[in-house]
Structures are given as C-alpha cells and as structure tokens.
Amino acid sequence: MRVDEVRKVCVVGCGNMGSQIALNAAIRGFLVKNMDVKEEMVAKAAAFADEYLPGRVAKGRLSQAEADAARRNISYTTDLEEAARDADFVIEAVLERLDLKRQVFRDLDRICRPEVVLATNSSFIVSSKIADATRRPDKVLNMHFFNPALVMELVEVVQGPHVSDETAQLTMEMARRMGKTPVLLKKEVYGFLVNRILAGLMNEALWLAEMQVASVEDIDTAVTKALGHPMGPFRLMDLTGIDLHYDIAMERYRETGDPADKPSPLIVEKVARGEFGRKTGKGWYDYGRAST
C-alpha cells in the first residue's frame, strides 16, 4: 500500500495518547475513528476534541473552517469492528500490557484487510512480541508518539526483524503526513531511543528521592535549571501518568525476572494511593483536581 492510498485511520484507545493521536490525524485531513471499550473514555475523548479545537481557533492556530473540518473528520465508538473494518491504517494505543495488546492485534488482524498496517504506539513493548498474534507480521511495527501527542514532533518508527521495508517506509511517511518528524530504528531495543535515555534519568531521580538526598521539587529544579530540560523528571511522570511508569516497569520485570527492574517503592506507593499525576489531580505534585 502507498501512503496516498491511506485515507481512513483507526486509533484503538481513547486515553490521553489515543485521543490525541486520533485528533492529530483528523486535523491533518485523515478520516479517523477513535475506539475504546469504555463508554466513559469515548465520551471523554469526544469532549476533549470539542474543547481543544475551539481553543486552537481562539489562539489563531487553526481557522474556524479547519477546526470544523477536523471535527467532521473524527468519530468515536465502542465497537472495534465498526472502527477498523474499513481502515487503511491502524494505530493501537491501549494499556501497556502485552496480553491485552496481543488480543487487540488478534482481533484487528481478523477485521482489517490483509494489506493494512497495524502499528502499536507502545513505548516499550516491541512489536515482535505482538506480530505473531497476526497473519501479517511484516505489517506490524512500533509507531511511538510522545506525550502530548498533539504537540510533540517526534515519532519513533521501529523496524523489527519481521517488518518489511515497505511497512517501515509507509509508516515513516504517515508520520510526516501527520505533521511529525519520524526517526527510524533499524533494530528493536528496549526503550527505543528516547525512553532508553530518559529511563536512566528517571531511575536516578527516583533513587535520589527514595534515599532522601533531596526533595522531589529540588531534583526537578536541578534538572530544569542545570540541564535545561523543559520540566523535571517528576513533573514529567505526573504528565505522562505514574501508573504508566508502574505498568512499564512491571512488564519489564515479568520479562526479565530481575528485581532491579521492579518499579521504585515510591512509584508503588503512589499507584496504591491512586495518585497517578495530573489526570487524578495529584501525583508528585498536588494539582487540586483531576485533569480533563
């Protein structure tokens, strides 16, 4: 399939990442169906689009006509069959759990036409662990967006050993058509490029906080003021979701069995309290109320 033939996009998952990837594609002119099994997530994603697009018009980033067209381009559903059956390209953005992703890809493989690429937005789970759940392993790969997906420019495209050159190049071009800057990884490696580098920083920051060397606030200040990062590691975890960091660490631990890969006790404590960051109103910092 050529990129010019891609008109309809299915995004599975209406969470923070899925809803933003879907809306980004709609703004860029694709016809998008954003799907989630939970009605409340579907409603939340639709409400986000209804709030975000007028906000872009008010700021002069979109014309009213562009915003109206983008909203017409996107629809929401709880029915995977409805969302995926006529899709030309699929992006999965569900929870970072291998068993769940394999089931989603198994279903997508049954529903979608044989030539359709099935991409996973997973930030850590490589597509070779998913591809054999389908009859099209050469068309299953990682297409990793960064949070917030409507703002961040980079997309990591990971070409595992099972992925065809055609699939990798199509996905690179899809990223460009969505207004992103793609980078191609020619080998699968845990954490890809950015998160592999970032994990080192996160782990050190968590260790410093756990050992009470410095406060969360002071660690963040050191990283922003000395290293020039736009936000510190704890603010970043609050933005992306502390529960996501927990899920990623647990998935890695289940794979390796190495106790060093377990999530930090501080992460476990936050998850146990339901303090996931901005989306719950409290994480490392107190935001007063849950974000919408």
Total-model pTM: 0.83
CA distance 93 to 113: 20
The answer, yes or no, to whether residue 291 has pLDDT greater than 90, is: no
Tallying the residues shown for the chain, one arrives at 292
CATH number of 219's domain:
1.10.1040.10
The answer, yes or no, to whether residue 217 has pLDDT greater than 60, is: yes
Percent of the chain with pLDDT over 70: 99
Percent of the chain with pLDDT over 90: 91
Angle at 216 between CA 213 and CA 220, to 5 degrees: 105
Whether 291 maps to a domain, the answer reads no
Residues with a catalytic annotation lie at: 123, 144, 156, 195
Give start and end residues of each alpha helix (H) in 59-185: 64-73, 80-84, 98-111, 165-177
158 and 93 housed in the same domain: yes
Give the structural domain span for 211.
Answer: 194-280
Whether 112 maps to a domain, the answer reads yes
Instruction: Name the pLDDT band for 290 (thresholds 50, 70, 90).
Output: low
pLDDT tens profile 258-268: 999 999 999 99
Tell me the CA end-to-end span of the chain in Å, nearest whole number.
37
End-of-domain residue from the set 165, 185, 205: 185
pLDDT tens profile 189-207: 988 999 889 989 999 999 9
Asked if 19 and 149 touch (Cβ cutoff 8 Å), the reply is no
Whether 290 maps to a domain, the answer reads no
143 and 218 housed in the same domain: no
83 and 224 housed in the same domain: no
pLDDT tens profile 89-100: 999 999 988 999
pLDDT tens profile 144-164: 999 899 999 999 999 999 999
